[in-house]
Amino acid sequence: MGLIEKIKDGSARAGVVGLGYVGLPLAVEIAESGLEVTGIDVQKHKVDAINAGKSYIMDVPSERVASLVRAKKLSATSDYSRVAELDTINVCVPTPLRKTREPDLSFIVDSIRAMAPHMRPDQLLVLESTTYPGTTEEVLVPILEEVGLRPGVNVEVAFSPERTDPGNKAYSTRTIPKVVGGMSPRANEAAVALYGRCIDKVVSVSSPKVAEMVKLLENTFRSVNIALVNEMAMLCDRFGIDVWEVIEAAATKPFGFMPFYPGPGLGGHCIPVDPQYLTWKARAEGLEPRFIELAGQINAQKPAFVVSKVVDLLNDRGKALKGAKILALGVAYKRDVDDVRESPSIDVMTLLLEKGAAIEYADPFVASVEVAGRKFTSVEPTEERVAAADVVLLLTDHTAFDRPGIAHAGRLIVDTRNAFKGIVSERIVRV
């Protein structure tokens, strides 16, 4: 029986390499579609957790994992030789930036090199890790060819960009449309068949390079528009205008406007990082993506702007920032998640510490965090602690925060997310 037929009738065995924010939700969806799934990860604690029926990802309840493990539809291992047993393999490993702001593809390269000796003809390999256009063909394919595997001849290769949005209650792995670009028509057909089992809508494009560019366009679009509204927030502050009121009024236009909202900076793994992949590739091709770079520069300025506002507000009250008690509310990069990757809250806290502020933080999702080489543990934002702070600095608008109580007890509240909307108080300053 051929690869596509096995995927369609449910007899194919699937594998997911990398069991993080992207890989684990995908593995669960594929397993719930009826295929037997083997997860592969080099981190032993993840493998042990999955095999014990426990989830470490907020969006994936442990009950779903445990049920699949009991049904023998989901298991995990660190042994790459298990790839030989699989018919489909989805690679969902991290793609960070180096300190030089260049793409770090070492996780992709290492995982492909580890599995290639164990791969066999008539398998489907799909890369999901965000990267620059051309990675599938320029990096992945040569490694396969070293072991005699040729895309479109004896193995199928495709790219499908992950679109995970942690904490999003409206859209999940299943309901977010999946873009697929194969290196051959059969690769496209096989990938569409695989995702079609567990994703509501699959969108096929002409090549992996197109699919790779799709993800970068999506997040560069967001980065640029967030930069625009962050710059607008700084302009409105200088003009004495409430930027949140401006956005709310502009959003009433039924065409030609899409509201984006300012914050203390730009966070999460994708939006601050993905445009850097595009700018790196553009430079390699002799192009200068000035618009994209400018957006990154504007977003990078926002944490310093927030700190300067705190300094000014304290000065107005006759107090220096050095030695001031700051209670930071939220260190996750966005509301109601436990993810601190690229969080602007960390950047703001780092700048405050460098200027001598005494900082505590409260976050119901993040028990501890390292800032400027120091480990901090989350505290409870009690009425006494709020009242004792010289500044309560709202950085992440978790729904669990008692906004009325904080507004009542706080002496000075700096709100970077419009979390205190509707609460009128001279002690609340929105930035």
> What's the CATH code, domain 3-206?
3.40.50.720
Residue 94, C-beta contacts closer than 8 angstroms, at least 6 positions apart: 18, 20, 107, 129, 269
> Rounded to an integer, what is the distance from CA 168 to the centroid of its chain?
11
CA angle, 425 then 336 then 75, to 5°? 175
Q: What is the pLDDT of residue 80?
A: 97
> What's the pLDDT at 1?
75
Burial of 317 (0-12, 13-18, 19+ CB in 10 A): exposed
Which two structure tokens, joined as six digits, stand for 424?
Answer: 């009128």
pLDDT tens digits for 146-177? 999 999 999 999 999 999 888 888 899 999 99
Q: Which residues pair with 158 in a beta bridge?
A: 126, 182
Total count of residues recorded for the chain:
431
Catalytically active residues are: 270
- CA distance readout (Å), 58 to 24, 55, 329, 339: 11, 8, 20, 10
Q: Within the chain, which residue ranges are assigned CATH 3.40.50.720?
A: 3-206, 253-430
Nearest to 328 by CA among 304, 308, 302, 310: 310
Which mean pLDDT values do the consecutive 10-residue runs of the chain (431 residues) have? 94 97 97 98 98 96 98 98 98 89 92 97 96 95 96 97 88 96 97 97 97 96 96 96 97 96 88 88 93 93 97 96 98 95 95 97 97 96 98 97 97 97 94 91
Q: Which pLDDT score, from 0 to 100, does residue 167 have?
A: 84
**Residue 262 near residue 243 (C-beta atoms within 8 A):** yes
CATH superfamily of 253-430: NAD(P)-binding Rossmann-like Domain (3.40.50.720)
